[in-house]
Amino acid sequence: MPGEEEFVVTPYEVRGRIDYDRLRELFGTQALTPELLAKIHRLAGGELHPAIRRGIFYSHRDLGSLLDGYANGRPFFLYSGRGPSGPLHTSHLLHFDLCQWFQRRFGVPMYLQITDDEKFWARSGLSREETVRWGYENLYDILALGFDPKRTHTFFDSRSIAALYPLAIRVARKIPYSTVKAVFGFEPSTNIGLTFYTALQTVPAFWPSWAEGRTIPCLIPCGIDQDPHFRVTRDIAEGLGYPKPALLHSQMVPGLLGEGAMSTSGERADNSLFLNDPPEVVDRKVRHAFTGGRATVEEQRRLGATPEICSVWAQWRMRFAESEEKFEQVTRDCRSGALLCGDCKSEILERIHAFYDQHAIAREKVKDWAESTIVASAPKDL
């Protein structure tokens, strides 16, 4: 049994109560300092994304030099991705919201990877039809967050392989089997699709530089659990003549049952709020969600509750508090005992429903142009 202080964070497992500063030290990443926040704020035209301001994004690699380059007239591009194993849940929006914000405030392109191949290889229970269908469903949800059709490019792996493959050939030659075995824990029985897949996840980080024949820096916003993937990418970048991608890491958003992170897979569907959950299911999940409240109303009024351990507060913090004032008010009233959990849940439910309604409309609209973002071919490969 792990002791109280112990936690595990890898691309395949998130467990225990995570000490995020300690994790940053273990991974050897840099802290997002006030100076760096001020720099983002300034370059973004006097605005900071709420998830950065509230400390959810808290760690990085090489973000400072990427921003300095931008300030000196060298634009970057964004890269993020999704393995389509099922519906998206609200925590997935964190990274795509942030990418959308960077795209709008910095006027930079976004490259999105939909890894239908990866999920087919990784999950024996999923058919090809399912990974493709979820790939499109997820793509609509992501684009509906407000991405600019002209500046957004999708690698839908099975459809974009002709665009990816010429570079994947080069990348794959640089990655020894011993590396992926150590980083991902592959067993002799792991199918060979997955061992090769690693190369495909690296390709988008270099693709624009390769396609345009000039150096274009890359920024990857991701959960800190994904850092090991991109250490491989960073290790081989310079050997191929590309810049190491910069990373911006978030903390993990706790699941509604107060255990681990939200997850698409697994038996614990009530741990996550899926974007395709009908309103009554959303209600039920939030009503049953784990909170930082006290055993009785009297105690809560007297002693206050604990936002830091509350899964509902985590959702306010992540995206559902529309302003800093609102976020501070919820936090303060929770801590003081002025706000009871039932009322807090009613209030956030209104906002979640309003988001779902608005999102359903936006997602219908992107269906007209989603396909046109899919990159089908590569420039002439020499």
Which positions lie near ligand TRP, rule CB under 6 A? 79-83, 113, 115, 118, 201, 220, 222, 226
CB of 269 to ligand TRP, least distance (A): 18
Residues counted in the chain: 382
Nearer to ligand TRP, 54 or 249 (CB): 249
What is d(CA 117, CA 344) in angstroms, rounded to the nearest whole number? 41
CB of 256 to ligand TRP, least distance (A): 20
Nearer to ligand TRP, 220 or 237 (CB): 220
Question: To which residue do tokens 């993937």 refer?
Answer: 229
Nearer to ligand TRP, 141 or 313 (CB): 141
CB of 350 to ligand TRP, least distance (A): 30
Nearer to ligand TRP, 157 or 277 (CB): 157
Q: Cβ-closest residue to ligand TRP? A: 81
Per-residue CA distances from 231 to 219, 247, 265 (Å): 14, 10, 25
Q: Using alpha carbons, select from 43, 1, 37, 71 the residue that is nearest to residue 248.
A: 37
Nearer to ligand TRP, 156 or 290 (CB): 156
> Which residues have C-beta within 8 Å of that of residue 33, sequence separation ≥ 6?
none
Handedness of CA 163, 178, 117, 359 (dihedral sign): negative
Indicate the DSSP class of residue 274.
Answer: B
CB of 157 to ligand TRP, least distance (A): 9
CB of 321 to ligand TRP, least distance (A): 25
CB of 83 to ligand TRP, least distance (A): 3
Nearer to ligand TRP, 227 or 330 (CB): 227
- The SS3 of residue 78 is strand
One-character DSSP codes across 5-31 = T-EEE-SS-EEE---HHHHHHHHTPEE
